[in-house]
Amino acid sequence: MLKATGISVRFGASTVLEGVDFTASAGQITAIVGPNGSGKTTLLKVMTGEIPGQGSTHLNGSDIAALSPVDMARKRAVLPQAGNVAFPFTVLELVRLGLTSGLATNDADHLDHLPERALSRVGLDGFGGRYVQDLSGGERQRVQLARVLVQIWEPMLDGEPRWLFLDEPVSALDIGHQLIVMQIARDYARAGGGVVAVMHDLNLTAMFADRVTLLGEGRVRAEGRPAEVLTDHALSACYGCVLRTNTLPPAGGPWILPQATGIHP
């Protein structure tokens, strides 16, 4: 389990998070949703050890403050909102950065093949020799996901779950690739790993998340199953606009039901 208690973060005079408690269980996708500036990314960064904050975070029972960088890398991998590449890496070179010795798998014989398998998993077969800076934004996002997957390819290691932390993993993707990425997250959780994802798309959240935490102004406003959190009242109050769940748009306009789609026709 991931358990964060009393997380508070202040930047100068601004309070970004105030006394946030958060839990996530292995075998599930736990989504963090909320409006811009609600503290979603900051909470993720505190729980992954990227930035300091008041309070404590325990991952699989261990206080992350007591874990070495190598221990943290064995337990979790992080997909940031934007992964800027400052050097002319090829796609394969970038994905191979996830192959830190001893992190990727219990079976060293498969290490060399993992980058290609990860690229195939995110729909980028044949992209290994291309330069990252020549790719579209969505392709670069999937390359970074492949790198993250390589780091913790096996959802379980030495009897403990490993964790994927995803910060807006589908922000630059078309609907087909959004579904592929979310299915990867679901498969990882179903295989025993834990997934924590910052999400903006509430429909995808409703489709794929097992649990949802709704943040607003640095505090937890609701927590529970999607049907318990994604309600008219909670969403409208948090986002500051009138939102209605499960209703048709006015004037007979077209609309898309993501839950009626699939990865394959």
Question: Is residue 108 situated within a structural domain?
Answer: yes
Helix (H) or strand (E) holding 185: helix 175-190
Helix (H) or strand (E) holding 196: strand 194-198
According to the model, what pLDDT value does residue 169 have?
95
Strands 211-216 and 194-198: unpaired
Q: Give residue for tokens 């830190």.
A: 100
Question: Is residue 209 situated within a structural domain?
Answer: yes
- Distance from C-alpha of 47 to C-alpha of 7, rounded to nearest angstrom: 9
Q: Give residue for tokens 């394959």.
A: 264
Question: Is residue 263 situated within a structural domain?
Answer: no
Residues 6+ away with beta carbon under 8 Å from 83: 140, 141, 144
What pLDDT tens digit does each residue of the chain (265 aa) get?
999 999 999 998 899 999 999 999 999 999 999 999 999 999 999 999 999 999 999 999 999 999 999 899 999 999 998 767 778 899 999 999 898 644 555 555 567 789 999 999 999 999 999 999 999 999 999 999 999 999 999 999 989 999 999 999 999 899 999 999 999 999 999 999 999 999 999 999 999 999 999 999 999 999 999 999 999 999 999 999 888 888 777 777 777 666 555 665 5
Question: Is residue 176 situated within a structural domain?
Answer: yes
DSSP 125-157: TT-TTSBGGGS-HHHHHHHHHHHHHHHT-SSEE
Token pair for 185: 């997250």
Q: Give residue for tokens 């048709």.
A: 248
CATH number (domain holding residue 227): 3.40.50.300
According to the model, what pLDDT value does residue 110 have?
64
Question: Is residue 264 situated within a structural domain?
Answer: no
According to the model, what pLDDT value does residue 172 have?
86
Domain tally, the chain: 1
Spatial contact of 15 and 218, defined as CB atoms under 8 Å apart: yes
What domain range includes position 127?
2-258
According to the model, what pLDDT value does residue 101 have?
47
Strand partners, 74: none
- Distance from C-alpha of 44 to C-alpha of 50, rounded to nearest angstrom: 9
pTM: 0.91
